[in-house]
Structure 1
Amino acid sequence: MGKKKKGLKYSPLNLAKGPHPMSFEEDRVVTMEDASQLVDHVEAAVQDVEVVIEVVCDPPSHLPPLSKDGVSLPQPTPLPNLVGEVHSITAGGDEAAVGEVDQVPFLRDKRRAGAAALSICLLSLLSIQLCIFPFSPPRPTPPDLLALRLEMAFEKIKVANPIVEMDGDEMTRVFWKSIKEKLIFPFLDLDIKYFDLGLPHRDATDDKVTIESAEASLKYNVAIKCATITPDEARVKEFNLKSMWKSPNGTIRNILNGTVFREPIICKNIPRLVPGWTKPICIGRHAFGDQYRATDAVIKGPGKLKLVFEGKEEEVELEVFNFTGAGGVAISMYNTDESIHSFAEASMATAYQKKWPLYLSTKNTILKKYDGRFKDIFQDVYETQWKSKFEAAGIWYEHRLIDDMVAYALKSEGGYVWACKNYDGDVQSDFLAQGFGSLGLMTSVLVCPDGKTIEAEAAHGTVTRHYRVHQKGGETSTNSIASIFAWSRGLAHRAKLDDNARLLDFTEKLESACVGTVESGKMTKDLALLIHGSSVTRAHYLNTEEFIDAVASELRARISA
């Protein structure tokens, strides 16, 4: 027992005389082999007592960089600090209660009273901390009664099927990485099919990566997307692009052919710009066709513009306009009965699930055939499939003109689903988000016609202004809540498809942790401005990383409760 084991410094334990601290080299990272030696040492030293070994998991913020033979190793994955109590220690059949045990921080306070703290790096480079709490037994017991128990504080949730991750651009890409590292990876054993939709990579692949990510979404049924840049002339020059690539959101939505449902994330302490909105408004945006799949052109000089359809049974030719001057512009757009039908089905299913009334808005008085087709298909789907269900639930469906609907929305209290055509939904969803408080407090989920496939994303852009500050090394306070909810909503759908109750519970706790953090007064600057206005000070808000850390702390507390 007095023989020193390689790589360890220790003082032999003699419980008859009381516990002695076992020490290790300062800031030393030990391996599983070292841990095994520790167990051997405890077994040799302790002959008549059951020793409880509690695992305290803590983000290794103080851990020095890992290396072997001069080569840097991957850094450990942080785990939440969840352990608070050792309930009992058994010795010779007698049980003695043990009070609350202090959590031992990484690489500090190794000589706590009666405890030997050890920082361990497993072969998988998962950092944990073992705290050995010996207890002197009331009476001697045979040596063969020694039992050594190792209890993990939290077991990662196994996610059976993959999800598709679509990475993005600028500031959202920066905190997207932090969200994964602090709020997702420590808790989930998750297979991710990764696609880099950052603008440089889209350009390098001639935008094929965007199409591939959408096809993967259809295969795996769940996609979670970071905000991305849609390039304009300035972006083409900034990134030296081969082409002015189309909106990745538009490309993905056209392949998935779904409906985007956006709904506010309501925090009690965040004031609304429209105070009359006491209930949420869920806006369903038809995410296929129209302006987002249109063909437009600049017309130079006089000439006749025609719209021609060459069908199998007939050909239709319509004269659109006769240009007589210097020219102008023209656009041609389309939609399909199948897509409009799916839009109607998704909208009515969502309204019925929420037990909220449903409104469809169009401008069928002007676009009598185009918008009239939306109106007719919605009415047919309602009459044949949903009317009796809606009436039994005490809800209704109604068509309104878009201008009338906007006026109604502004004076309503909320509590309904609003189905919009593609462009209307693009505009009105931002109007709703700002009215409820912030674009950073809006969920966005694309629901596909198959009823199984969804794509969850943030409803805002890449926050370029903050990214410019970040590039210069300045402090930013960027709201990441919508991106966190993209992960929670995507994973919640994965949980429902896989019948994974643990995963579903985790997503609910993640969302409540976000809201709870804000309602406790910890928030980013955009939200603090809504509360304090021009009198806001630095003390009123957290920076980008501090906020994610605060959510992580709240999440750990809710999981361990």
Structure 2
Amino acid sequence: MEKVQMTTPLVEMDGDEMTRIIWELIKEELLCPFVDLKTEYYDLGLENRDRTDDAVTAEAAEATKRLGVAVKCATITPNAARVDEYGLKQMWKSPNGTIRALLDGTVFRTPIQVAGIEPCVRNWEKPITIARHAYGDVYKNTEMAVPGPGVVELVYTSDDGRESRALVHRFDGAGVVQGMHNLDASIASFARSCFEYALDVRQDLWFATKDTISKVYDHRFKDIFQDIFDAEYAQAFADAGIEYFYTLIDDAVARVMKSEGGFIWACKNYDGDVMSDMVSSAFGSLAMMTSVLVSPQGFYEYEAAHGTVQRHYYKHLRGEETSTNSVATIFAWSGALRKRGQLDGLGDLVAFADQLEEATLSTIASGQMTGDLALITTLPDPQKLSTHDFIRAIAGRLEQMREQL
């Protein structure tokens, strides 16, 4: 069988633990037999990030700017326990946060729906897309432990030497403090990305923060969104028959639970991180969600929205069988290949990406699935497959589809 050709490489960012094993299986079983795969490889595994003082993460982001499309495996963001486990030089920051800061843009996450997996929220009939701001906030914070009584202030020193100060807290004892920031330019690009995406898919756009409490920081987001909408997008939204509205984050949560879905929910960075996990889990599984970072400059980075599946990895190391859901990682590859094909004018590559997704979903709909889905499916007598057998089952369907061309 002749392989599908590529012209421009993808940026390939390898990752950690169980998802790293799945990454290799996907390439071995689902990609390389069918595609003349071209990638520029970066190892973002924790050991290599530590060995390179995390320079490899920035290099991968810069390569994404150069090549335009990237696909990323799940990676570890180390805590104190991971520093000890891996013998790290320091507690490196989130690689996702680093990449998003360098690329800017917005992360769009949408549940993957499939026959036999019904949402936990009964009235959710359509996917809910989370649009997550990809810059700043807690992911670029500075924090410190306060050892004892004293004063913590925010200090701004302008380039001409003038200072402005704001009291954070007068500590009577030990505590902790953190400082966060964002940029008007990044908030504006976030807003425009959301408005453009809503027009593209013709869905209502919600935006939510907590401006009643954060009267400067969160209110800035609210004002920039509204100013850009009024000046640039109000008429286009009216013509498309869709709506933009702002509400408080707690009100948005209540509305989301009672909705039927089928809209875009724009969130600040941390809110989007949490809410995308809630939405994906409620639609079936954390491993059943697409995730793509779209930058204003036209760079795309596709990834799985979940973690490295640490518990399964330890089982794998003990020689025990695992049944790890690889769907989100497969869809990260299919999304990247599709976008590469669209940008390069390669119809065969776009068609292959569609077939890979169809083979994946039809495998599940036939009753063959991983353990997380077997526990919640409405299909009778599901067949629980191991990590590798599930990918092999998809490969078999994909091969049949390719042979019929």
Identity of aligned residues (%): 51
Unpaired runs of 5+ residues, structure 2, are: none
Note if contact 2:118-2:378 (Cα within 8 Å) is conserved in structure 1. Answer: no
Partner of residue 94, structure 1: none
The structure with higher relative contact order (CA 8 Å, sep 6+) is 2
1:531 Cα offset (Å): 2.2
Structure 2 residue 268 is the aligned partner of structure 1 residue 403: no
Question: Does the Cα contact within 8 Å between 2:116 and 2:378 map onto a contact in 1?
Answer: no
- Please give the alpha-carbon distance, in whole angstroms, between the structure 2 residues aligned to 1:232 and 1:376: 35
Q: Is residue 188 of structure 2 the alignment partner of residue 341 of structure 1?
A: yes
C-alpha separation in 1, matches of 2:335 and 2:122: 27
Q: Which position in structure 1 is the counterpart of 2:289?
A: 442
Distance 2:230 2:107 in 1: 23
What is aligned with 1:420?
A: 267
- Is the 8 Å Cα contact of residues 323 and 385 (structure 2) preserved in structure 1? yes
Shift of 1:327: 2.7
Structure 1 residue identity aligned to 2:310: T
Structure 2 residue aligned with 1:548: 391
Deviations 1:197-228 (A, max 9, x none): 11111111111111111111111111100011
1:557 to 393, 400, 404: 400
CA distance in 2, matches of 1:236, 1:312: 38
Q: CA deviation at 1:276?
A: 1.0
Give yes or no for contact 1:166–1:197 (8 Å, CA) kept in 2. Answer: yes
Closer, same or farther in 2 for the Cα pair 1:385/1:314, shift >3 Å? farther
- Residue 271 of structure 1: CA displacement? 2.1
Q: Give the match for residue 178 of structure 2.
A: 331
Equivalent pair of 1:222/1:494 in contact (CA under 8 Å): yes
- Partners of 1:283 and 1:405 lie apart in 2 by 12
Deviation at 1:449, TM superposition (A): 1.2
1:268-417 alignment to 2 at 5 Å? 268-313=115-160, 315-417=162-264
SS across alignment from 2:292: strand
The reply on whether 1:262 has 2:109 as its aligned counterpart is: yes
Deviation at 1:156, TM superposition (A): 1.2
The answer (yes or no) to whether the contact 1:306–1:317 under 8 Å persists in 2 is: no
User: Residue 368 of structure 2: SS of its match in structure 1?
Assistant: coil
The amino acid across from 2:335 in the alignment is R
Of 377-386 and 482-491, deviating more is 377-386
Larger Rg: 1 or 2? 1
Find the aligned partners of 1:170 and 1:509 in 2 and give their Cα distance. Answer: 28
Distance 1:369 1:264 in 2: 33
Which position in structure 2 is the counterpart of 1:490?
336
Q: Distance in 1 between matches of 2:88 and 2:320?
A: 28
Asked whether the equivalents of residues 302 and 322 of structure 1 are also in contact (C-alpha less than 8 Å), the reply is: no
Q: 1:512 is matched with which residue: 354, 358, 364?
A: 358
State the SS of the aligned residue for 1:433.
helix
Deviation at 1:322, TM superposition (A): 4.5
Structure 2: how far apart are the matches of 1:532 and 1:277?
Answer: 16
Distance in structure 1 (CA, Å) of the matches to 2:170 and 2:213: 22
State the secondary structure of the residue aligned to 2:11. Answer: strand
Alignment partner of 1:158: what SS? Answer: coil
**Aligned residue number for residue 466 of structure 1:** 312
Q: Distance in 1 between matches of 2:343 and 2:184?
A: 28
Helix, strand or coil: the match of 1:359?
strand
Consecutive unaligned residues of structure 1, counting only runs of 5 or more, are 1-153
TM-score, normalised to structure 1, is: 0.70
Aligned residue for 1:551, secondary structure, equals helix
Letter in 2 for 1:457: E
Residue correspondences, number = 404
Deviations 1:12-51 (A, max 9, x none): xxxxxxxxxxxxxxxxxxxxxxxxxxxxxxxxxxxxxxxx
Whether the 8 Å CA contact 2:154–2:168 is kept in 1: the answer is no
Match of 2:302 in 1: 456
1:94-109 → structure 2 map (5 Å cutoff): none
Q: C-alpha displacement at 1:313, in angstroms?
A: 4.8
Secondary structure class of the residue paired with 1:507: helix
Secondary structure of the corresponding residue to residue 269 of structure 1: coil
Residue type of the partner of 1:511? Answer: E
Give the conservation status (yes or no) of the 8 Å contact 2:294–2:301.
Answer: yes
Deviation at residue 306 of structure 1 after TM alignment: 1.4
Q: Distance between the aligned counterparts of 1:395 and 1:556, measured in 2?
A: 41
SS of corresponding position for 2:375: helix
What is the rounded CA distance, in whole Å, between the counterparts of 2:195 and 2:262 in structure 1? Answer: 15
Matched, 1:239 2:239: no
Partner of 1:57: none
Matching residue's letter, 2:327: I
RMSD: 1.5
Deviation sequence 1:51-96 (CA, Å, 0-9, x none):
xxxxxxxxxxxxxxxxxxxxxxxxxxxxxxxxxxxxxxxxxxxxxx
Distance 1:359 1:324, change over 3 A: closer
Q: Distance in 1 between matches of 2:369 and 2:174?
A: 52
Q: CA deviation at 1:268?
A: 1.5
Q: CA deviation at 1:316?
A: 3.8
Higher helix share: 2
Letter in 1 for 2:365: E
* Partner Cα separation in structure 2 for residue 393 and residue 249 of structure 1: 34
